[in-house]
Structure 1
């Protein structure tokens, strides 16, 4: 197939006509090869010893927050703690790192959802990122349960639902096999019944900004030929060259017969990739 070289980005994932996730490797912000046809073939990824900040382009010895240099990490709004914990949003306190960016990103409709990847979890994402967010997390099922007018409110709802639900994916369980199918509608009904009072209080506080949804369950299959019995994780910082037979893709992970690697973690690393040779 040949060799490609460039700055790594997260895998591009779309849902094909048959309901299977279709993967493309992305270098220099461009998809360079569709990976699904190469499952079962050799693949080699070689880190070239260069990392360039995906925001400013500055050379950096260490990547922060999946692809940023340290100055950008401590100054950009998209790297602030509230992006990981949106209920801690401090825009209303006048201390947002970039109010214009927040208006474009945080003050847009967000979706609160249930997803089944390694078990049922609750999460949030911008409405425009459905189903991309679910694919990135390796969810085999997902259910959009509410729409909010901004990111902070989505975080407050997620924080309430965390009383009954996990908000993290067990990545090792994710990569050991298909998650058992779950009745997400039944899970939602049980959670809403259990948390009736705090959920109603949130609804009363934000009557025009929080809307519960009546959606069908979304499902997808991942192109995995074989799951590992023991999960070994590759890391470019420790082992610059990663190679093996490509067994499949799930979430942002490549599954090789020698171990797994989360490509999103190494965004902004310059790599050379050979597939099928």
Structure 2
């Protein structure tokens, strides 16, 4: 039995992608748990993943309300990078911004639930792609700040989605009709000089395969620990931040901060 507060699934590049379940007390290697029954018992306790405060409700995947109001990583500009206000002198934490925002970022194309455009901090691109359940990913440009990456993403999003449909991503029903390299050429051709100066000249398409049985039919029913605190099912695979069971799918990161005991039977 493993006990602790949930953090997230931690994917590692492999063939296929390997997964660890991160808890506040340590990590669980999941490779040996596939095709076995897993029982999750939510104790009813919720703690902020930053300050550890016990609360009745958590926000933004594990933060208490005071932390949501004060931490830079919970500011709206994290999900809307083009609205970065660092230059206005109103950033919640300039040290955080210097380390996470005022650094090189990639703008990329990916295939997850379909074609999409996204951005990620340079050096974290593989984790970002695997967290989103991308099966293919291809950088477009490298820009010096998160704000500029957000502006470029917005420009490309005029023609391509910038969101992932988690249901389609998990079902893997569609396959790309056009290679990401071909799509990238079309995207680059539409860019203005303001952005085209950052386009990468030498890029690679990266492919990811996730652990799941061939022909596995995903049950899209979501595991909800608030409604069913004791839950068990047969673990078949993982993709993105989801564990895939015969009985449903569990978005692990959604329940970050929940105290649980987890057993592989």
Determine if the TM-score, normalized by the shorter chain, exceeds 0.5: yes
| Whole-angstrom CA distance in 2 between matches of 1:174 and 1:62 | 28
Cα root mean square deviation, aligned: 1.5
Indicate the residue corresponding to 2:35 in structure 1.
40
| Whole-angstrom CA distance in 2 between matches of 1:11 and 1:202 | 34
| Kept in 2: contact 1:10–1:263 (CA 8 A) | yes
TM-score normalized by structure 1?
Answer: 0.90
Whether 2:90 is the aligned partner of 1:95: answer yes
| Whole-angstrom CA distance in 2 between matches of 1:82 and 1:121 | 20
Whether 2:209 is the aligned partner of 1:221: answer yes
Relative distance call for 1:104 and 1:29 in structure 2 (3 A) is: farther
| Whole-angstrom CA distance in 2 between matches of 1:49 and 1:139 | 33
* Cα-to-partner distance string for 1:127-150 (whole Å, 9 max, x where unaligned): 121200001111111011111111
Aligned residues: 263
SS of residue paired to 2:99: helix
Whether 2:264 is the aligned partner of 1:269: answer no
Whether 2:257 is the aligned partner of 1:242: answer no
Indicate the residue corresponding to 1:49 in structure 2.
44
Q: What pairs with 1:1-277 in structure 2 (closer than 5 Å)?
A: 3-16=1-14, 19-28=15-24, 30-31=26-27, 33-177=28-172, 179-181=174-176, 182-193=178-189, 195-196=190-191, 199-203=192-196, 210-225=198-213, 227-228=216-217, 230-275=219-264, 277=265
SS of residue paired to 1:107: coil
* Cα-to-partner distance string for 1:51-87 (whole Å, 9 max, x where unaligned): 1111111111111111100000011110000000100
Question: How far off is 1:90 after superposition?
Answer: 0.8
| Whole-angstrom CA distance in 1 between matches of 2:202 and 2:69 | 39
Relative distance call for 1:59 and 1:180 in structure 2 (3 A) is: same
TM-score normalized by structure 2?
Answer: 0.94
SS of residue paired to 2:55: coil
Deviating 4+ runs (over 4 angstroms)? none
SS of residue paired to 2:236: strand
Which runs of 5 or more structure 2 residues have no equivalent in the other structure? none
